[in-house]
C-alpha cells in the first residue's frame, strides 16, 4: 500500500480519510490522484473546495473530502503543524477515534490503539465475546483489551504504528469475516473462539440486516442556447457541494414527469415542460438505492432563483467535465455524450 511507505503525517492522514468505508484496492488510484493534485497540506488548504471535490469524484462519501479540506484550512491558519496526539487530532473535522489513533500511532508513534472493523473482529473472537459488539458493555471490553494489547506491545519494543497495522492486517488477511485461517494465526493459542467453537466465524454475532429502501428520482436536463443547466447541492447535506441535474424524489401518487416539474418549481422557482425520458440509472448508496430518471425538459416561465440549491450554472456540454458530479449523474453525462 503506497501510503505505508511514508511517515509523512499528511500522506497518512489523507490515506486514512480515503480508507474510511472504502476498500484498499479502490483507494489506491484515488490516493495517487489526490496527492498529485494536492501534494502538501498547504496546497490542499489553499485550493477551492470545487477542485477538492473534483479530485475526489467517484470515491463517494463526499463529506470526507469537505471535512478534510476544512481541517487542512484550520491546521494551516493555526500554524501549519498537524496535531501529534489522538486527542488533538479528534478536534479536527472528519477525524474520529479510530482515524485519530491510526494517524497518531503511524506518524508520531503515540501508543493509541486503532480499532477498526478488522481489529474489532479479531478481539471479539480472541475474547469469545458473545454480546452484540455494538452494545456499550461489549465496546468497553473491546476498547480496554485493545489498549492493554497496545501497552504490552509497546512495552516489548514494538512500534505503536507497526502494532496497529499488524492487527489490521491480521483481521484483513487471516481472521476474515467469512473465513478464518486459524492455523496461520499468531493468536490462535490464546483465542477463546478457536478453543470453544466449531466455527469461529459465528462471532461477532450477526446483526439482522435492515430492508434497504428504494427511491425513484426524477431529474431535468434543461437546455438553453446550446447550454445545459446544472445545480449545486447544499454544502450541509448529502453529496454537499457536488453538481447535478436538478430534480428529486418521486412522491406517492405522482408520475415521474409530475415529480420533475414539482421539484424544479420548488428548487428553482420556474415552470418547465417535461418531454421524453433520456436515460435511467440504478445506483446504490450505503443505506438506500435509487433509480435516477433523466428527462429532456424546456423552461416555459419564470426566472431561476436559488430556492433549494446552493448555486446554478448554464454550462456548455464540453465544460461539464470540469464539475464534480455524483456517480449516477456521471452516467447520465455519458448518455448525453452518446
Residues 197 and 221 in one domain: no
Can you give the residue range of the structural domain that contains 233?
A: 214-337
Instruction: Report pLDDT for 274.
Output: 98
In sequence order, the 6+-apart residues with CB closer than 8 A to the CB of 4 are 165
Q: What pLDDT shows up at residue 164?
A: 97
Query: Which of 16, 57, 110, 120 is an active site residue?
Result: 16
List the one residue out of 290, 258, 296, 300 whose CA is nearest residue 277.
Answer: 296
Same domain, 69 and 133: no
Same domain, 222 and 327: yes
pLDDT at 334: 93
Say whether both 201 and 233 belong to one domain: no
What's the rounded Cα separation, in Å, for the pair 7 and 11? 8
Predicted local confidence at residue 293, as pLDDT: 98
**Residues 249, 251, 256, CA angle at the centre, nearest 5°?**
70
CB-based burial of residue 36 (10 Å sphere; 0-12 exposed, 13-18 middle, 19+ buried)? exposed
Cell of 38: 494536492
End-to-end CA distance of the chain: 37
Whether 16 is a known active-site residue: answer yes
Cβ neighbors of 325 (< 8 A, separation 6 or more) are: 57, 242, 243, 244, 333
User: What pLDDT does residue 26 have?
Assistant: 93
**Are residues 15 and 78 part of one domain?**
yes
pLDDT value of residue 2: 85
The CATH number of residue 69's host domain is 1.10.340.30
Pair (197, 124) in one structural domain: yes
Instruction: Say whether both 193 and 226 belong to one domain.
Output: no
Same domain, 251 and 331: yes
Number of domains into which the chain is organized: 3
CATH code of the domain containing 301: 3.90.79.10
CATH number at residue 139: 1.10.1670.10
- Boundary of a domain, candidates 110, 130, 160: 110
Q: Check whether residue 104 and residue 142 sit in a common domain.
A: no
Q: Pull the grid cell for residue 253.
A: 401518487
Q: Are residues 149 and 176 in the same domain?
A: yes
184-to-133, 176, 197 alpha-carbon distances in Å:
25, 12, 17
Q: Give the CA angle between residues 269, 272, 276 to the nearest 5°.
A: 145
pLDDT per residue rounded down to tens, the chain (338 residues): 888 888 899 999 999 999 998 999 999 999 999 999 999 999 999 999 999 999 999 999 999 999 999 999 999 999 999 999 999 999 999 999 999 999 999 999 999 999 999 999 999 999 999 999 889 999 999 999 999 999 999 999 999 999 999 999 999 999 999 999 999 999 999 999 999 999 999 999 988 888 999 999 999 999 999 999 999 999 988 999 999 999 999 999 999 999 999 999 999 999 999 999 999 999 999 899 999 999 999 999 999 999 999 999 999 999 999 999 999 999 999 998 88
Assess whether 157 and 240 both reside in one domain. Answer: no
At which of 110, 142, 172 does a domain end?
Answer: 110
Q: Model-level pTM?
A: 0.91
Could you say which of 64, 93, 110 is where a domain stops?
110
Contact between residue 267 and residue 231 where contact means Cβ atoms under 8 Å apart: yes
**Collapsed DSSP state (helix, strand, coil) of residue 322:** helix
- Cα distance between residue 261 and residue 143, in whole Å: 52
Answer yes or no: do 220 and 332 share one domain.
yes
Amino acid at each position: 500500500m503506497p501510503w505505508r511507505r511514508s511517515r509523512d503525517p499528511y500522506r497518512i492522514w489523507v490515506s486514512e480519510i480515503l480508507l474510511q468505508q472504502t476498500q484498499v484496492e479502490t483507494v489506491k488510484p484515488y490516493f495517487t490522484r489526490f496527492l498529485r493534485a494536492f501534494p502538501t497540506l498547504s496546497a490542499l488548504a489553499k485550493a477551492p473546495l470545487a477542485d477538492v471535490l473534483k479530485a475526489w469524484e467517484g470515491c463517494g462519501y463526499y463529506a470526507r473530502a469537505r471535512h478534510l479540506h476544512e481541517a487542512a484550512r484550520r491546521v494551516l491558519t493555526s500554524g501549519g503543524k498537524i496535531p501529534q496526539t489522538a486527542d488533538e487530532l479528534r478536534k479536527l473535522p472528519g477525524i474520529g477515534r479510530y482515524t485519530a489513533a491510526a494517524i497518531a500511532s503511524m506518524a508520531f508513534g503515540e501508543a493509541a490503539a486503532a480499532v477498526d472493523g478488522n481489529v474489532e473482529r479479531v478481539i471479539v473472537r480472541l475474547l469469545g465475546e458473545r454480546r452484540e459488539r455494538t452494545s456499550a458493555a461489549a465496546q468497553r471490553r473491546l476498547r480496554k483489551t485493545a489498549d492493554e494489547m497496545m501497552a504490552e506491545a509497546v512495552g516489548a519494543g514494538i512500534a505503536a504504528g507497526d502494532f496497529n497495522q499488524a492487527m489490521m492486517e491480521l483481521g484483513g488477511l487471516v481472521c476474515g469475516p467469512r473465513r478464518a485461517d486459524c492455523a496461520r494465526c499468531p493468536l490462535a493459542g490464546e483465542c477463546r473462539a478457536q478453543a470453544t467453537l466449531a466455527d469461529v466465524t459465528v462471532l461477532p454475532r450477526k446483526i439482522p440486516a435492515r430492508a434497504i429502501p428504494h427511491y425513484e428520482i426524477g431529474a431535468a436536463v434543461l437546455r438553453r442556447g446550446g447550454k445545459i443547466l446544472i445545480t449545486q447541492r447544499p454544502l450541509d447535506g448529502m453529496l454537499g457541494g457536488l453538481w447535478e441535474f436538478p430534480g428529486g424524489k418521486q412522491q406517492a401518487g405522482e408520475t415521474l414527469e409530475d415529480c420533475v416539474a414539482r421539484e424544479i418549481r420548488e428548487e428553482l422557482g420556474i415552470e418547465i415542460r417535461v418531454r421524453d425520458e433520456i436515460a435511467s440509472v440504478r445506483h446504490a448508496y450505503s443505506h438506500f438505492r435509487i433509480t435516477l430518471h433523466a428527462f429532456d425538459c424546456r423552461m416555459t416561465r419564470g426566472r431561476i432563483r436559488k430556492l433549494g440549491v446552493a448555486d446554478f450554472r448554464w454550462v456548455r456540454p464540453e465544460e461539464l467535465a470540469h464539475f464534480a458530479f455524483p456517480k449516477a449523474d456521471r452516467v447520465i453525462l455519458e448518455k448525453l455524450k452518446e
